Amino acid sequence: MTHVLILEDDRASREALEKILLEYSDSICVHAASSYDEAKELLDAHIRYALFLLDVNLGGENREDIGGILFAREIREKFCYTFTPIVMVTAVGAMEMQAYRELHCYQYIMKPFRGEQVKDVVRKVLEKEKQEEPPSVTVKRDGINYQVKCADILYIEAIHRGICLHLKNEDWNIPYITLKQIMTKLPEDMFIQCHRMYAVNRREVEYYDTVNRIVKLKDCGAAVEIGVTYKSEIGRLLSG
């Protein structure tokens, strides 16, 4: 899950930003603050933010107010946010150079902003995260979206009306998604389907036994069956 912190005192702008982000991706969790103090509380929470959208002026018509810039300084003082993207949102263009010079802003959005501008920023941030972080997959369990690291998945099993993720420490039943659907969300070079009911994490395989048609997983007592129609594909994997 990608966490984004919005600091915007104008309710309409704040809600517009939140709506744009939530519509862009269901893997985004928005934390919105209407004041400097609220934003400070969110910053001090045990959450790792991937993007900050900050209004420069938090004083309404008071153009001398630079609460957003002050909060950006607070962000940069935390070592974990030294390079985290900060996007300043404002109608006061004179603040632009100050923000870029002092705070190394990622981008600057002028009001009134367009939805495509915000989405473009989010897209770039998500792509950067995808390149830097270990691969993961978002699944919905009990009505809540969870981000599961692919490295934690040993194998996947098709079950009645869903799938079961066999993780290193526990099993998760995920309803209303098929094995075929989950495979499209996983790195192609990391998982391979070996049976109509199973797919395995190739990095967790100890060996493939095509004679007895089983896949033995590392540090795990489970042996996953190789389907007859998948035997040749496994054979090509071993020979290639």
Question: pLDDT of the chain along its 240 residues, tens only?
Answer: 789 999 998 899 999 999 999 988 888 999 999 998 999 999 988 888 989 999 877 765 545 556 788 898 899 888 778 888 888 887 766 555 565 566 677 777 878 888 888 888 888 877 776 666 688 899 998 888 898 999 999 999 999 999 999 999 899 999 999 999 999 999 888 999 999 999 999 989 999 999 999 999 987 777 999 999 999 888 887 776
Q: Would you give the end-to-end CA distance of the chain in angstroms?
A: 36
Amino acid at 54: L
Q: How many CB atoms lie within 10 A of CB 132?
A: 7
Of the candidates 164, 169, 201, 239, the residue with the CA atom closest to the CA atom of residue 215: 201
The β-bridge partners of 201 are 191
Cβ-contact 4, 31 below 8 angstroms = yes
> 115-132 and 11-24 helices cross at what angle (nearest 10)?
50
Structural domains in the chain plus CATH codes: 2-132 (3.40.50.2300), 136-239 (2.40.50.1020)
pTM recorded for the entire structure = 0.53
